[in-house]
Amino acid sequence: MSSHLAAMVVFAVFVSVVFAALMRDEPREQLRFGLRLFGGLVAGGILAGWLLYPLPF
């Protein structure tokens, strides 16, 4: 897994799964919360990457 994006996506999957199980009780709610969290983590990571891209260091 040498792709930074793949590593970030796998990381987001694990974090989303655990937080969804921790914070919601019903499976349907867990799925919805987990998907939203996963989307937020991946989108936030990509957005942060692009915002940092112009920096010279």
Partner 1 sequence: MPIAAADETRSLPTTYLICAAAWALPGAGHLWLGRRQKGLIFLIALPLMFACGLWLEGRLFPFELTQPLVALAAFADVGVGVPYFVAAATGRGGGRAVAATFEYGNAFLIVAGLLNMLVVLDAFDVAQGRK
Residues that bind partner 1 in the complex, under the rule CB under 8 A: 1-2, 4, 7-8, 10-11, 14-15, 17-19, 21-22, 25-27
Residues 32, 28: Cα–Cα separation, whole Å: 6
Residue with Cβ nearer partner 1 (6 or 43): 6
**Closest approach of partner 1 to the CB of residue 20, in Å:** 8
For residues 42 and 12, is the Cβ–Cβ distance under 8 A? yes
